[in-house]
Structure 1
Amino acid sequence: MENNSTIMVVSVRTVNFQVLLVQVLVCVFLCINLFLIITFFMKEYFYTVTRYILFVVMLFSDSLFLIMTDMLLIFSYFTTTVQMWLCLIIFIVLAVYTFVTPLTLTAMVLERYVAICIPLRHAELCTTRATLYLILVVHSLSSVPCIFILSVFFALAPRTFYSEDRVCSVEMFLLYTWQGYLRSATSQFYFLVMSIIIVYAYLTIMKVAKAASGENKTSTRKGLRTVILHSFQLLLCLLQLFCPFIEDAVRQIDFTLFIKVRYFNYVTFIIAPRCLSPLIYGLRDDLFFQAIRYYTLCGLYKKAPSS
């Protein structure tokens, strides 16, 4: 009896530590993202360049996604019930922004591809207006899976469902098994298309890097490293699309193991990819890094960021 009590206390402490760790990580990343967003808007040059515009869109997407997923984690941990209309809003945001970050990453890789492989057309293709159209396309494509799922849900869900109070979970909008299969097929299609784009861009840039010389070779190699980091970040984001199916399989075997797997997936495939964004452009990009250092030191760093 005493041993069982000890095990229960240890288990509760472990869960508490895990939830607390997530709160710390989310707060740190949100603060970093907020500072980078402020830095972006402090200099006019940044919001006239495609890669920086896409970068700040991804920061907004990551921040919103982290807030919503953390909210669900807290609701689940404290078994807090909410009305279904609020849960529906959370589901829509999560369903859309699950795809916004990987699609934006793909768009950023394409921008690097244009800049390195067809530089003479870069200024023509990567205008501010074209970037805004691209952001609209990214959000439209991200909304397609959500529209499919909600169309089926609205057609099949009973009216009493919307007035109920439940612990919010995205799985409750999948009323039938075949809806999960539909979501899986959509995720796999997106995964395939984005993977093909990334591989093609990488191979083409690598070919250009071998043929380049002097300063062009250095610039091209830096662009290639950026594409590699984007590819790794994108891989983690895309693997997140398969997490629900792994978790469903584990839940049928062992619920305790399911909790551990879900926590691991959340930290590895949701938090980790979104902490790479500040690294790739916040620290590796010379111009953005100068701006960060300048505004961090409140102008004491004399070399102001130049365009």
Structure 2
Amino acid sequence: MENSTSKNTSSTTVTGVLFSTAQNGKILFVQVLVGIFLYVNCLMIFTFFQKEAFRSDTRYILFAQTLFLDSTLMVMTDLASVGAYFQYHIPCISCVILCVLMDWVSNGTPLILVAMCLERYVAICMPLRHADISNPRSRLVGLLLVWSLSAIPSFIEFFSFVASASSTFWFSSIICSVSVLRLYSWHTSLRVSVSQLYFLALSAVIAFTYVKIMKAARSATCSNKRSTSKSLKTVILHTFQLFLCLIQFWCPLIESAVTEIDVLLFINVRYSNFILFLIAPRCLSPLIYGLRDEKFFAVLKCYLVCGMSKKSFT
């Protein structure tokens, strides 16, 4: 356990360097980015709850779920980042709970994206059965399934940590970081293995929906061409977004390897991973559904201009 303690101390030291005074510009940029992100998401969540048509449509419900998950993740990761920047120590138990919740919420977004692609597949390829399949009961079952599947990697990592951490470690105070849960190299290997399994499964589902919608687009009549083409573009955008989300599963392995090379390189790689694979893909959700969807954008624009354009509601 001395080895694990030294690793945690090293990790804490690196985290402290990561958010040192020299990184003022970077941490300020993150705060501005997160602030804009949360404002846009809150506006879209508010818009979602204002229309009954949105609250009863599966794709808008899934969209609202991504907004909720992404906003929650941004708040928690930002709190952890600011705490690390100011070298603020918190009880280990609180840090472990926060890290598990962040991991849980982070895993939920890729699964919701896959669910969105499946919903588009049913709407385009099985339009006559769409209303029967996309009912309140199936939506509830689907959301419960998403939340359950997203919890599996988090709890695997949590229980492996519990089995390895000493009793004294639980009562210590630390600078919180996700690396706290990875005391040994096999913790990272276990996490990467589970992530690879999820990566392959989700990629297979995305590929299936893409091929099916592509076939439907080729055989669609002129009246359905526009709808099918738009759904195909949505799946492509979700594929790109999902690809960025899934790369974050590989970040712990990459960062662990880089740490052995150079601390400064580790700092830059971890910051880049945070921006590119945590924040960036979650900024795409409002663009894919919030701005590309004509109905939702009309209502959103109405609230954006303080409700002066009442025609958007009619």
Give the TM-score taking structure 2 as reference length.
Answer: 0.91
Instruction: Select 1:87's aligned residue among 80, 91, 95.
Output: 95
Match of 1:96 in 2: 104
* Contact 1:287–1:305 (CA under 8 A) maintained in structure 2: no
Q: What's the CA shift for 1:12?
A: 6.7
Q: What's the CA shift for 1:203?
A: 1.1
* Contact 2:96–2:180 (CA under 8 A) maintained in structure 1: no
Instruction: Select 2:119's aligned residue among 111, 121, 127.
Output: 111
Instruction: Select 1:23's aligned residue among 18, 31, 35.
Output: 31
Tell me whether 1:296 sits opposite 2:299 in the alignment: no
The 1:112/1:15 distance shift into structure 2, 3 A limit, reads: same
Instruction: Select 2:156's aligned residue among 148, 172, 175.
Output: 148
Instruction: Select 2:273's aligned residue among 265, 270, 280.
Output: 265
Q: Distance in 2 between matches of 1:108 and 1:22?
A: 28
Q: SS of the residue aligned with 1:175?
A: coil
Q: What's the CA shift for 1:15?
A: 1.2
The 1:38/1:257 distance shift into structure 2, 3 A limit, reads: same
Q: 1:155 is matched by which residue type in structure 2?
A: A
Q: SS of the residue aligned with 1:82?
A: strand
- Runs of at least 4 residues off by over 4 Å: 11-14
Write out aligned runs for 1:9-20 (5 A). Answer: 15-20=23-28
Q: 1:241 is matched by which residue type in structure 2?
A: F
Tell me whether 1:158 sits opposite 2:166 in the alignment: yes
Q: What's the CA shift for 1:13?
A: 6.8
Q: Distance in 2 between matches of 1:29 and 1:14?
A: 25
Match of 2:237 in 1: 229
Unmatched 5+ stretches in structure 1 = 1-10
Q: 2:116 is matched by which residue type in structure 1?
A: M
Q: Distance in 2 between matches of 1:152 and 1:182?
A: 9
Aligned residues between the structures: 296
Q: Distance in 1 between matches of 2:103 and 2:32?
A: 24
| Comparing 153-162 and 276-285, the one that deviates more | 153-162
The 1:229/1:305 distance shift into structure 2, 3 A limit, reads: farther
Match of 1:218 in 2: 226
* Contact 2:189–2:253 (CA under 8 A) maintained in structure 1: no
Match of 2:14 in 1: none
Unmatched 5+ stretches in structure 2 = 1-18
Instruction: Select 1:138's aligned residue among 123, 142, 146.
Output: 146
Q: 1:159 is matched by which residue type in structure 2?
A: S
* Contact 1:149–1:183 (CA under 8 A) maintained in structure 2: yes
Q: 1:274 is matched by which residue type in structure 2?
A: R
Q: SS of the residue aligned with 2:174?
A: strand
> Per-residue displacement from partner, 1:119-142 (whole Å, max 9, x unpaired)?
111101111221121111001001
Q: SS of the residue aligned with 2:309?
A: coil
Q: SS of the residue aligned with 2:111?
A: helix
Q: Distance in 2 between matches of 1:121 and 1:23?
A: 45
Q: RCO higher in 1 or 2 (8 Å CA, sep ≥ 6)?
A: 2
Q: What's the CA shift for 1:179?
A: 1.8
Q: Distance in 2 between matches of 1:172 and 1:204?
A: 43
Write out aligned runs for 1:21-60 (5 A). Answer: 21-60=29-68
> Per-residue displacement from partner, 1:247-278 (whole Å, max 9, x unpaired)?
11111100001000111111111111011111
Q: SS of the residue aligned with 1:159?
A: coil
Q: 2:205 is matched by which residue type in structure 1?
A: I
> Per-residue displacement from partner, 1:111-159 (whole Å, max 9, x unpaired)?
0000001111110111122112111100100111111122222223222
> Per-residue displacement from partner, 1:156-188 (whole Å, max 9, x unpaired)?
322211211011112122222222111111000
Write out aligned runs for 1:198-209 (5 A). Answer: 198-209=206-217
Q: 2:285 is matched by which residue type in structure 1?
A: S
Give the TM-score taking structure 1 as reference length.
Answer: 0.93
> Per-residue displacement from partner, 1:70-107 (whole Å, max 9, x unpaired)?
12211222221111121022111112112100000000
Match of 1:254 in 2: 262
What is the root-mean-square deviation of aligned Cα atoms in Å? 1.4
Q: 2:252 is matched by which residue type in structure 1?
A: P
Q: 1:131 is matched by which residue type in structure 2?
A: R
Q: What's the CA shift for 1:296?
A: 2.0
Match of 1:127 in 2: 135
* Contact 1:47–1:53 (CA under 8 A) maintained in structure 2: yes
